[in-house]
Every structure is written in structure tokens, then in C-alpha cells.
Amino acid sequence: MLNIKINDLDLQVSEGTTILEATKQVNIKIPTLCHLNLHEFGIVNQTASCRVCMVEVEGRPALVPSCSELCTDGMVIRTDNIRSITARRMAVELLLSNHPYDCLVCPKNLECDLQALASDLGIREIRYNGEKMNYAKDTSSFSLVKDPNKCVMCRRCETMCNEVQTCGILSAVNRGFDVFVGPAFNLDMVDTSCTYCGQCVAVCPTAALTEVNNTDKVWDMLNDPKKHVVVQVAPAVRVAIGELFDMPAGTISTGKMVSSLRGLGFDAIFDTDFGADLTIMEEASELIHRIQNGGRLPMLTSCCPAWVKFFEHQFPDLLDIPSTCKSPQIMLGAIVKSYYAEKMNMDPEDIVVVSVMPCLAKKAEAARPELTKDENNNVDIVITTRELGLMLKEAAVDYAGLPESDFDSILGESTGASVIFGTTGGVIEAAVRTAYEWITNETLEKVDFEQLRGFEGIREGHVQIGDLNLRIGIAHGLGNARKLLEEIQAGTSHFDAIEIMACPGGCIGGGGQPYHHGDMEIIKKRQAAIYQEDRNKVLRKSHENPYIKKLYDEFLGKPNSHKAHELLHTHYVP
């Protein structure tokens, strides 16, 4: 152990501790900007580029960045003296000197780390008002907008994209004053192999990277009397949206969320969880079929569109291994435009499907040509959890004070199995609950498969189903997924089924969720809420959903039937 002193407090820290980590042990706050240390998810950005966390170390002539400087025995540190504070202010003032001053209309207004720093450091005038970068915004993709003029070169997005997700899209473009982070040769995002996972957006401290805002499109549809506007909401939204209205992280607000959507004027409020139960019907059938007929194993889950894009771009030789199931959002959209339209005696052209997702990739997914049918999109508009929050704020909704209400019949009923789709490990656990009963014809008494849960980036769990020992792999984060795919390529994978979600923690950590500002405890609380919501459900196995049974009886026939294939399955493109 090392003995150190911080602001006159004596403490002991272990070898390898940075000054910033040491200060946290004694609740001393040092402001940071570029720093990001989410080590439980394998995410560390320690570029020490912003110079905001400077502190004084006795005996050192220059100030040091506390995020990267390691403690040494006998170190005496001062974090709150005028010299350190002045240096921090200067660092922020210099960043502001090359920043557009449009905070009032900026998409990150009140959510921007740079804005918060300027406020906390008492910066009340712009002393250095010189030349500014003047690049065009990149609005080429369906998912995210890149505004280089707001880039502060913290490189958090770069760490996320290159080290955590191993996509390698983002790096420094240009040099000196003109530098910003973007794709090589400043290509448009749409011309890169970006997966649109949105993790760059999740960690960007400013509005250099934000989602494409579709809220005006939704308002337009809600105000068009000729349109029947249906909304569906993803599993992970209900455990996070409360954070936008000052509810503690981990609050489940499903009933309030439904009421809020009803208040906005949607004609029907359906649950993507219904789509998830439907996905399990198809995916569990496909898995059993592959196992019993010598099909291609391991089978990979396919509900995360960023993950789908990742394997299409990076592993085009493995396109036959993912499940052919469309994702729950697209399945539900397809059922709304067919079964529901038929039941309501409506022309699908008059129905608009809006999805509320924790995810930016879902925007691009909904626009994939092979997932639209006869030019009548299965899902028309996707907004994120944050965008729904914006709409509710525009409508001055008192979210916390809303009463609870239920999703609409006939596509609003769901089981606990579908709720857990929102966390890493949940999709495959849901599939196992159904596969177990279908293979053994016995009732599964204990539905919680603890061996499939957790936060480790790559996990392995075995499930005994009769004579079958099902070997399951789980990865979250695309860098972890890459490792499992490389094993498959090398012929060394021993799994029968693998679940992959692109975002740390799964959809609960999606790029469209309320900003976590680097606090991973928030994602853990959302995960606990997901499992609680599962326990709250009377039915916890997808195949027990009575409305799913009805859908097959009245419309689809059996899982993997011709009609089910036509509506619910897809193919992949290299």
C-alpha cells in the first residue's frame, strides 16, 4: 500500500491507483471531461487530453493530470488551490474559444458536460473569441448526426468505437486547429461500416455526436387525422425513461409511460415485448430444428441491429449462422400492418407505426430495404427514449404524477420472458424457457437461469434440457462478440447458441437511453429493474402468452410456417 496525502487528508491506496481514483475514496471531486473509466465494461479512456483535471503535486514544477498520474508513496496532492482551479478554467475557456455558442438551441442543452463545466467553474464571459471551425454537419445516416464544430477532441467516442466495439470508424481527422474526430478522409457516416450502435453518442460529452431527431415527424403524424398512429415501446425504455423526469435510476414506470403515450394522442399503444414473445416462438423453433436436424450451430441471436450490421460488414463468411428471425420491433411492425390491419379493417397504408427504442441502430434497421414490405414500411418512424422524453416535455406532461395504465389489446400483452430481452443474457434465457418445455414436454418450474445473468463481457452457461446439454455463450459489446466469432471461424467454438448485444449491458445501456454520464451504477440499476419487472409478471414464458397463441391460431398457423417465414424472417447481406 502507498501512503499519500490529499488536501491534508491522509489515506492509503494500492499500487497502480491514479490520483483521480484516490480522490474518489475520500469523496473529493475533481472535474473531468475526456476521462471515462467504466472498467467493469472494459471501457477506459485515459487520453489526458482535456487538461481539466489538473492538480498540484508537492515537489513537481508543473501541474499534473489527475486521471493519468499514478500515486506514489509519500505523495502530497492539492486539488483545490487557486493554481489548479485557474488551470482548469483556462483549459475550458480555450475549448470554448472554438465552440459555437448556440447552447439554447443545442440538442445537448442542459445535458452537455462542457456547458456544466463552464458553469461549475464560474466562467461567465468568453475571453478568447477568435476563429472557429466551420465544418458541415454529417446528416447522412438514419441514426446519428455528427457536428465536428462541437468536437472537443476528448476521444471518448474513439475509444468506444475502436477499443470497445472494435469497429475502427473514428479517429483524428486533420491536424492542429482544424482537428476533429470523424471517419478517415472525413467520409460520410453512411459510407463507412458504422453499425450505428450509438455508443459514441452515449459517451460524447457535447453535441458533436447526437441522434437523428424524428420527433417532428411523429408530431406531424399525430396531427394528421387520416392516419391511425400506433406506437410500440421496447423493453428497456420502461426502466430508464423515469430518469428523464428526476425519478431514481432503476425506477419501473411502465404504467405511467403508457399513460403518457395515450395523452400524446397515439391511437393504439402496443408493446415491443409482444414482438419479443413472438420472436421467441420463431427463434426457439429454429434452434430446436437446427439441433435436431444437424443444422448450422452455434445459432446466433439476431435482434440487435448493430450486431447484425457488424457481422454483415466484418464476418460476411458467417451469414448462415445467425437466426433468420427479424427483430421484435420489426416483427411487431409486420403484424400491425397485416393481422391488426385486417382485424381493424384498415388499409395498412393508413397505419403509421412509431417505435420508441433505447437504440439508434433501430432507426437504421427500420429503413433496411429488405425489412420493408411492398414499400409500406413495417416500422415508419423510430424515436429514442430521450426523444420521447423531449416530446413529453414539449407537451408539459407531469410524468411522475401520471396514473398507471395498460397497453392496448391485442398486441400489448407480454410475458416476463420478453421483458428480459432488455438486458444482456435475457434473449437467450427467454429462448431457453420455451425450448425447455417444447423439448421435454415438461413444465419448467424454475424459470430464472442465474448462470446466464451478469455483466461480464463474455459469459458461458450450460443448461440441461433432458438429455441435451445446451452450451450457451453470451457477449455484450462488439469487441467481445468479435472474439466469439473468431472462434467460430477457427472452428474452435463449442457453443450451441450465442446471444450477442452490441451495447454494454444490452439495450438498457443503448445509445438512445438517458445519458449515464459515465456512471455504470445506473445501468446496473436498470438491469435489476428489468429482472424485477420479469418477476412481476404472471406469465413468464413466451409460449404462454394467450394473444400469441391467438395470433398463431387465427393468422400465422405454426411457428416457422410459410406465412411466419414471409412476415417474420429475413436474410442478411454482405
What residues are labeled active site? 283, 286, 303, 323, 362, 365, 370, 507
**Using CB under 6 A, which of the segments 27-35, 271-279, 466-474, 476-484 binds ligand HC1?**
271-279
**Cβ atoms of residues 334 and 372 within 8 Å:** no
- Give the one entry of ligand HC1, ligand SF4, none that residue 502 binds, where binding means its C-beta sits below a cut-off of 5 to 8 angstroms depending on kind: ligand SF4
CB closer to ligand SF4, 56 vs 211 = 211
Q: How many angstroms separate the CA atoms of 307 and 500, rounded?
A: 7
CB closer to ligand HC1, 250 vs 275 = 275
CB closer to ligand HC1, 181 vs 304 = 304
236 binds ligand HC1 (CB under 6 A): yes
- Give the one entry of ligand SF4, ligand HC1, none that residue 182 binds, where binding means its C-beta sits below a cut-off of 5 to 8 angstroms depending on kind: none
Q: What is the DSSP string of 225-268?
A: TT-EEEEEE-GGGTTTGGGGGTPPTT---HHHHHHHHHHHT-SE
Grid coordinates representing 483 are 472474439
Residue 391 CB, nearest approach to ligand HC1 (Å) = 18
**Cβ atoms of residues 410 and 547 within 8 Å:** yes
In 3-state terms, what secondary structure has residue 19? helix
Q: How many angstroms separate the CA atoms of 252 and 474, rounded?
A: 25
CB closer to ligand HC1, 106 vs 281 = 281
- Give the one entry of ligand SF4, ligand HC1, none that residue 422 binds, where binding means its C-beta sits below a cut-off of 5 to 8 angstroms depending on kind: ligand HC1
Grid coordinates representing 530 are 428489468
- Give the one entry of ligand SF4, ligand HC1, none that residue 531 binds, where binding means its C-beta sits below a cut-off of 5 to 8 angstroms depending on kind: none
Beta strands, E only, 150-218: 170-173, 180-183, 209-211
In 3-state terms, what secondary structure has residue 353? strand
Would you give the DSSP letter of residue 406?
A: P
Q: How many angstroms separate the CA atoms of 19 and 8, rounded?
A: 14
- Give the one entry of ligand HC1, ligand SF4, none that residue 425 binds, where binding means its C-beta sits below a cut-off of 5 to 8 angstroms depending on kind: none
Q: Which residue has the cell 427483430?
A: 327
For ligand HC1, which residue of 244, 281, 306, 359 counts as binding (CB under 6 A)?
359
Question: Could you say which residues in the range 284-343 bind ligand HC1, by CB under 6 A?
Answer: 303-304, 327-329
Residue 61 CB, nearest approach to ligand SF4 (Å) = 46
Give me the sign of the Cα torsion angle 482, 484, 489, 490: positive
Residue 211 CB, nearest approach to ligand HC1 (Å) = 13
Q: Which residues of the shown chain bind ligand SF4 in the complex (CB under 6 A)?
A: 197, 304-307, 358-359, 361-362, 501-503, 506-507, 510
For ligand HC1, which residue of 65, 205, 358, 473 counts as binding (CB under 6 A)?
358
Q: What is the DSSP string of 99-124?
A: S---GGG-TTTTT-HHHHHHHHTT--
- Give the one entry of ligand HC1, ligand SF4, none that residue 235 binds, where binding means its C-beta sits below a cut-off of 5 to 8 angstroms depending on kind: ligand HC1
422 binds ligand HC1 (CB under 6 A): yes
65 binds ligand HC1 (CB under 6 A): no
- Give the one entry of ligand HC1, ligand SF4, none that residue 306 binds, where binding means its C-beta sits below a cut-off of 5 to 8 angstroms depending on kind: ligand SF4
Least Cα distance to 204 among 251, 273, 274, 152 occurs for 152
530 binds ligand HC1 (CB under 6 A): no
Q: How many angstroms separate the CA atoms of 425 and 433, rounded?
A: 13
- Kindly provide the b/e burial profile for residues 202-218, where b requires at least 16 CB atoms within 10 angstroms of the residue's own CB: bbbbbbbbbbbebbeeb
Q: How many angstroms separate the CA atoms of 66 and 413, rounded?
A: 51
Parallel/antiparallel/unpaired status of strands 170-173 and 36-38: unpaired
Residue 421 CB, nearest approach to ligand HC1 (Å) = 4
**Using CB under 6 A, which of the segments 152-160, 234-242, 519-527, 566-574 binds ligand HC1?**
234-242
Question: Could you say which residues in the range 402-421 bind ligand HC1, by CB under 6 A?
Answer: 421
Give me the sign of the Cα torsion angle 442, 445, 447, 452: negative
Residue 181 CB, nearest approach to ligand HC1 (Å) = 25
Residue 234 CB, nearest approach to ligand HC1 (Å) = 3
Give residues in contact with ligand HC1 (CB under 6 A). 234-236, 272, 275-276, 303-304, 327-329, 357-359, 362, 421-422, 506-507, 510
